[in-house]
Structure 1
Amino acid sequence: MKCLNCGNDIANNLQVKEIFLFNEIPENYICNLCRSQLAPLANRNNCPRCFKPEINGICDDCKMWEQKYQIINCHQALFEYNQFIHNYFKLYKRYGDVLLAKLFYQDIKNWSLKNHFDVVTYIPASQSHLQIRGFDPVYELYADIFDLQPLLTKVDSDKPQAQKNRLERLRTPQTFSPLPAMAQIQKNQSILILDDIYTTGRTLMHAHDIFFKANFKKITTFSLSR
């Protein structure tokens, strides 16, 4: 198999216990060279609420969200945002290489096998972005792993989040509304909201707030990168 990012051969060196224990072994679409350029967040000194790396205790962003929404942020992520992740999303989102949606399949799948939720939804693309790209990048990133339920709709903001500085991101007004399907979900069910990148948390906090105001209490968010 070839790496979806660079085209190099992928060496799947399985351990003996993986072969004989008959555990599910997720497909790998990224080579060792590309993987070596990633910065995993597991087992590091991260903010316990949002996984912001190299933070001693709760970060200022999470303290701000708690003060603003009276909620405790509960977010997990796999990789620190670095140059490799930046280049990946540039190819995947800006240039529309939808095949790259599977690059991190193994990593996300392994996380999903260890973390279980009653309902899994995602941050949807606005209609204009959907028309420009021809696909929803967050949906495609997770669709082969989770049973995704569309529960939110998004209107266009003044400009894309990627083009905003930190202050502009934080000042972005609410852009989400609940879809009718949300009313069919029991309030005691656990909810997972998926996104691709967590920067300031503004987008996911807006989504979180929609569920919180609808009286859901068990809300977790997740992103590929933080």
Structure 2
Amino acid sequence: MKCLNCGSEITNNLKIIEIFSLTPITPNYICNFCRQQLKPLINRDNCPRCFKPESGGICSDCQIWEKNYHKINCHQALFEYNQFIHSYFKLYKRYGDILLAKLFYQDIKSWSLKNHFDVVTYIPASPGHLKERGFDPVYELYADIFDLQNLLSKKDADKPQAQKNRLERMKTPQTFFAQPAINQLSKDQSILILDDIYTTGRTLMHAHDIFFERGFTNISTFSLSR
């Protein structure tokens, strides 16, 4: 198998117990060279609320959310945002290389097996972005791993989040509205909302509000990168 990012051959050094196990082996789509360029967030001094790396406690972002909006994060992520992640999303989202949706399959799958939720949904693409790209990048990133429910819709924004500075991101107005299926859920169910990148948390906070305002209290969020 070849790495979806660089095309190099992937060497899977399976253990004896994995070879003879009846459990299906989770496929790997990223080579060791590319993996070495990642900065995993596990076992680091991350913010306990949003997983911001090397925070040494509750980070300034989460303190702002709590002080100004009375909201507390419950977020996890896999990798620190760095140049490799930046280049990955540039190829995947901007240039539409949909095959890259599977690059982190093994990592996301491993996380999903350790974290269980009653309902899993995702941050959907706005109509404008969906038309431009031809696919929904967040949905494709997670669709083969989670049983995703389409519970949110997103309006077209004045300009993309990537083109906004930090203050503009924080002040972005609500752009989500609920799909009718949300009314069929039980209020005591645990909810997981998936996104690709957590920057200021504004997008996920807006999505969180849609559920919170309808009486849901057990709401968590997850992203590939933070």
Please report the TM-score for the alignment, with normalisation by the length of structure 2. Answer: 0.98
Amino acid at match of 1:134: G
Match for residue 62 of structure 1? 62
Distance across 1 between alignment mates of 2:186 and 2:104: 31
Distance across 1 between alignment mates of 2:7 and 2:116: 33
Distance across 2 between alignment mates of 1:42 and 1:180: 36
SS in 2 for 1:167: helix
Match for residue 92 of structure 2? 92
SS in 2 for 1:120: strand
Structure 2 gaps, min length 5: none
Q: Report the CA distance between 1:157 and its aligned residue.
A: 1.1
Amino acid at match of 1:71: K
Give the 5 Å matches for 1:98-137. Answer: 98-137=98-137
Structure 1 runs of 4+ with >4 Å offset: none
For residues 65-111 of structure 1, what are the alpha-carbon distances to aligned partners after superposition, in whole Å with 9 as ceiling and x for unaligned?
Answer: 22334332100000000000000000000000000000000000000
Give the paired residue count: 226
Q: Is the 8 A contact 1:69 1:209 kept in 2?
A: no
Amino acid at match of 2:73: N
Please state if 1:218 is matched with 2:218. yes
Please state if 1:72 is matched with 2:55. no
Amino acid at match of 2:84: F
Structure 1 gaps, min length 5: none
Match for residue 170 of structure 1? 170
Tell me the percent identity: 77
Distance across 2 between alignment mates of 1:216 and 1:159: 30
Amino acid at match of 1:26: T
Match for residue 190 of structure 1? 190
Please report the TM-score for the alignment, with normalisation by the length of structure 1. Answer: 0.98
Q: Report the CA distance between 1:17 and its aligned residue.
A: 2.5
For residues 102-142 of structure 1, what are the alpha-carbon distances to aligned partners after superposition, in whole Å with 9 as ceiling and x for unaligned?
Answer: 00000000000010000000000000000000000000000
Q: Judging changes above 3 Å, is the alpha-carbon distance between structure 1 residues 23 and 69 closer, same or farther for their aligned structure 2 residues?
A: farther
